[in-house]
Amino acid sequence: MADIIQLLPDHVANQIAAGEVVQRPASVVKELLENAIDAGADTIKLIIKDAGKTLVQVIDNGKGMSNTDARLSFERHATSKIRNAEDLFQLHTKGFRGEALASIAAIAHVELKTKQEQDDVGNTLIIEGSKVTSQEVVVTPTGTSVSVKNLFFNIPARRNFLKSDTVELRHVIDEFHRVALAHSNISFAMYNNGSESFNLPISNYRQRIVNIFGNKINEKLVPVEEDTEVLKISGFVGKPEFAKKTRGEQFFFVNNRFVKSAYLNHAIASAFEGLLKNGTYPSYFLNLTVNPQTIDINIHPTKTEIKFDDEHTLYALLRSAVKHSLGQFNIAPVLDFERDPNLDTPYSFKKDSTNAPKVEVDKSFNPFQNEETSKARAVTYKKEPTTSWESLYVGLESKGNDSKSDFTEIQFESEERTASIFDDDKQVEKTHTTYQLHNKYIVSAIKSGMLVIDQHRAHQRILYEDFLNNLTIKEAASQQLLFPLQLHFSPQDITIINQLKVDLEHTGFVFSSVKEELVEITGVPVGVPESEVSIILEQLISDVENEVPESHFSASDLLAKSMAKSLAIKTGQSLQKDEQEHLVNKLFACKEPNVSPTNRTTFVTMSVDELDKKFI
């Protein structure tokens, strides 16, 4: 038989390898920013066009490259940062694989301009699909500028795979934030389609956070400092009452590198235990400094995962440092461990609270108390096993909206999941009554047996169909506000609001102005309480940020879903009899009553037969 193995041509191999490094414009942003930092720059500019699909350019004032290095830098495994495998354990640079520029050059049009301080002129190189098409001498300032144009120009499948500009820009901004937060000693600017999105001068860490997320965040930050032999922690956590509905503002940096670590995240969550409203997440901006020999960041190609030698110790230290800060600043009266936690009212969300927090230092507070139990919990990530008979009821208390109680996990069988569920038995229908169970479910008798409706999901379905109708078919009515409502947002949130403005107006919102950090609203959709508006918008922004759109991504669908989620009757809300019946009727008037807008079951039925079987 003839030989069938072939060596792939270089340019194909390069394109395949590029997939590891470059998934989207944001990956290019990350690599170029990191190279600029490794080059010792203290001023770095990022220029983006069309969410980076058309152009990503990074200009730095770092040390630049020689004529030869400029050419070499695009070769695979060409790096100035390590010489042998041992160097891997003493890394002080971001890059070390020598792959980024080679990968980027394989799948884009790249233009490099670079000059070293001692030289009068620099070099410019143009590379297209891994081929150098020109190299010339050029007059350019000291430092390096890399422009990456038309990403994936030669791999249409990858290009089509990119998400909407909104989503890609979000990823770019996330990457920019991560790098900028890790280096407040470097000045950064970002320009998007010709206008300045961020201008971050060299500053202290707190000021850097404020410059990125807006002035309002300043009052929400609680400093965290800890210095031990194995670990230095510095940074801020957000006060619990400002916890967000999304994980957006959670940043860990280890030796100035952004990392994701579910384990360390858990350490912080546990320090906040008892302080947060259900379904909210604390903000944090924490820098951990450890000996580079004790970590392995080499386990993942995009390098946000990290492995520590001694995770348990880090966990305990981090948890106690955060607890200590919250205690010191008396953010939490609940930190009094002697008290029965059941007697504490959950921290309530006070939007209008402008009172300065009382600073009462709890001198008896000992962050190392309870360490044993929390450690055990952290390691297993599980709840303690249930032992007493009372625990049978645990799943029945009303929890967060989407948390599954034991009850929802029971699988009911049902032959009748149709809109005509009440129809052909007038007898039952006339006398049918509803009953609310645990402020969560509406139970009703039906012809075949019993119907149990999840009130939150059912209401979401109803509102979703209403909103979608308004958005796509008719203009919704708007209700004028007596006084315009002013809401503060970070600059990147404003970008999203601007993108959705037209759709929002279709639902009944009226905006009188959308400015840098301020949105002014003069009208809201009929039936939407003014007090809910900021929550709706916040939820919407976070949904857009976290959305993983399919190819048929639709803004109106997302908006309808998000608003339905915000406005739907919550689990835990008690309903009058007529409200319960109204909900049932409206649900079965929906086009798809069976599932919530996010495809979760809205109701289950149980037949008399099934019930009978349980009593055998």
Q: How far apart, in whole angstroms, are the C-alpha atoms of residue 407 and residue 601?
A: 13
3-state secondary structure of 249: coil
Q: Which stretch binds Mg ion (CB under 5 A): 99-107, 120-128, 318-326, 439-447?
A: 99-107
Strand pairing report for 43-49 and 187-192: parallel
Q: Is residue 597 at the binding interface for ligand ADP, with CB under 6 A as the rule?
A: no
Q: Closest-CB residue for Mg ion? A: 95
Give helix 577-588 / helix 455-472 axis angle, nearest 10°.
Answer: 50
DSSP letter at 116?
Answer: -
Q: How far apart, in whole angstroms, are the C-alpha atoms of residue 17 and residue 5?
A: 19
Nearer to ligand ADP, 19 or 491 (CB): 19
Q: Of ligand ADP, Mg ion, none, which one does residue 593 interact with (CB within 5 to 8 Å by kind)? A: none
Q: Which stretch binds ligand ADP (CB under 6 A): 74-82, 180-188, 242-250, 450-458?
A: 74-82
How many of the chain's residues bind ligand ADP (CB under 6 A)? 24
Nearer to ligand ADP, 60 or 557 (CB): 60
Return the number of other C-beta atoms located less than 10 Å from residue 550's C-beta: 8
**Binding mask of the shown chain, residues 102 to 121, with x at each position contacting ligand ADP by CB under 6 A:** x-------------------
Q: Of Mg ion, ligand ADP, none, which one does residue 525 interact with (CB within 5 to 8 Å by kind)? A: none
Q: Closest-CB residue for ligand ADP? A: 95
**Of the candidate residues 15, 35, 57, 539, the single one contacting Mg ion (CB under 5 A):** 35
Nearer to Mg ion, 33 or 288 (CB): 33
CB of 183 to ligand ADP, least distance (A): 14
Strand pairing report for 284-289 and 250-254: parallel
Q: Which stretch binds Mg ion (CB under 5 A): 29-37, 56-64, 277-285, 555-563?
A: 29-37
DSSP of 551-591, one letter per residue? TT--HHHHHHHHHHHHHSPPTT----HHHHHHHHHHHHTSS
Q: Of ligand ADP, Mg ion, none, which one does residue 60 interact with (CB within 5 to 8 Å by kind)? A: ligand ADP
Q: Of Mg ion, ligand ADP, none, which one does residue 327 interact with (CB within 5 to 8 Å by kind)? A: none
Q: At residue 453, what is the residue type? A: I
Q: Taking the mean position of all CA atoms in its chain, how far away is CA 238?
A: 16
**Of the candidate residues 98, 248, 327, 508, the single one contacting ligand ADP (CB under 6 A):** 98
CB of 205 to ligand ADP, least distance (A): 24
3-state secondary structure of 315: helix
Nearer to Mg ion, 101 or 584 (CB): 101
Tokens 């599932």 label which residue?
Answer: 595
Q: Map 24-92 to HEC letters.
A: CHHHHHHHHHHHHHHCCCCEEEEEEEHHHCCEEEEEECCCCCCHHHHHHCCCCCCCCCCCCHHHHHHCC
Return the number of other C-beta atoms located less than 10 Å from residue 578's C-beta: 9
Q: Is residue 466 at the binding interface for ligand ADP, with CB under 6 A as the rule?
A: no
Q: Which residues contact 98 (CB under 8 A, 6 or more apart)?
A: 75, 76, 77, 78, 79, 81
Q: Is residue 100 at the binding interface for ligand ADP, with CB under 6 A as the rule?
A: yes
Q: How far apart, in whole angstroms, are the C-alpha atoms of residue 143 and residue 60?
A: 5
Q: Is residue 78 at the binding interface for ligand ADP, with CB under 6 A as the rule?
A: yes
Contact between 116 and 68 under an 8 Å Cβ cutoff? The reply is no
Q: Which of 600, 571, 578 is nearest to 464 (CA)?
A: 600
Q: At residue 117, what is the residue type? A: E
Return the number of other C-beta atoms located less than 10 Å from residue 455's C-beta: 27
CB of 191 to ligand ADP, least distance (A): 18
Q: How far apart, in whole angstroms, are the C-alpha atoms of residue 471 and residue 559?
A: 9
CB of 507 to ligand ADP, least distance (A): 46
Q: How far apart, in whole angstroms, are the C-alpha atoms of residue 269 and residue 286?
A: 13
C-alpha distances (whole Å) from 223 to each of 236, 282, 324 are 4, 14, 10
Nearer to ligand ADP, 27 or 571 (CB): 27
Q: Which stretch binds Mg ion (CB under 5 A): 94-102, 189-197, 280-288, 310-318?
A: 94-102
Q: How far apart, in whole angstroms, are the C-alpha atoms of residue 494 and residue 508?
A: 19
- Which residues from 175-214 bind ligand ADP, rule CB under 6 A? none
Q: Of Mg ion, ligand ADP, none, which one does residue 144 interact with (CB within 5 to 8 Å by kind)? A: ligand ADP
Q: Of Mg ion, ligand ADP, none, which one does residue 187 interact with (CB within 5 to 8 Å by kind)? A: none
And the tokens for 368? 């190392």
Q: Taking the mean position of all CA atoms in its chain, how far away is CA 30?
A: 17
**Of the candidate residues 26, 45, 99, 259, the single one contacting ligand ADP (CB under 6 A):** 99
Q: Which stretch binds ligand ADP (CB under 6 A): 94-102, 309-317, 427-435, 503-511?
A: 94-102
**Of the candidate residues 95, 122, 523, 525, the single one contacting Mg ion (CB under 5 A):** 95
Nearer to ligand ADP, 70 or 314 (CB): 70
Q: Is residue 189 at the binding interface for Mg ion, with CB under 5 A as the rule?
A: no
Q: Which stretch binds ligand ADP (CB under 6 A): 60-68, 250-258, 365-373, 515-523?
A: 60-68
Strand pairing report for 143-149 and 187-192: unpaired
- Which residues from 14-53 bind ligand ADP, rule CB under 6 A? 31, 35-36, 38-39
- Helix, strand, coil percent values for the chain (each to nearest 5): 40, 20, 40
Q: How far apart, in whole angstroms, are the C-alpha atoms of residue 560 and residue 463?
A: 8
Q: Is residue 62 at the binding interface for ligand ADP, with CB under 6 A as the rule?
A: yes
**Of the candidate residues 100, 110, 189, 335, the single one contacting Mg ion (CB under 5 A):** 100
Nearer to ligand ADP, 60 or 465 (CB): 60
Nearer to ligand ADP, 191 or 553 (CB): 191
Q: Which stretch binds Mg ion (CB under 5 A): 27-35, 50-58, 301-309, 568-576?
A: 27-35
DSSP letter at 305?
Answer: B
Q: Is residue 73 at the binding interface for ligand ADP, with CB under 6 A as the rule?
A: yes
Q: Which stretch binds ligand ADP (CB under 6 A): 91-99, 176-184, 293-301, 550-558?
A: 91-99
Q: How far apart, in whole angstroms, are the C-alpha atoms of residue 60 and residue 39?
A: 8
Site residues, Mg ion (CB under 5 A)? 35, 95, 100
Site residues, ligand ADP (CB under 6 A)? 31, 35-36, 38-39, 60, 62-65, 73, 78-81, 95-102, 144
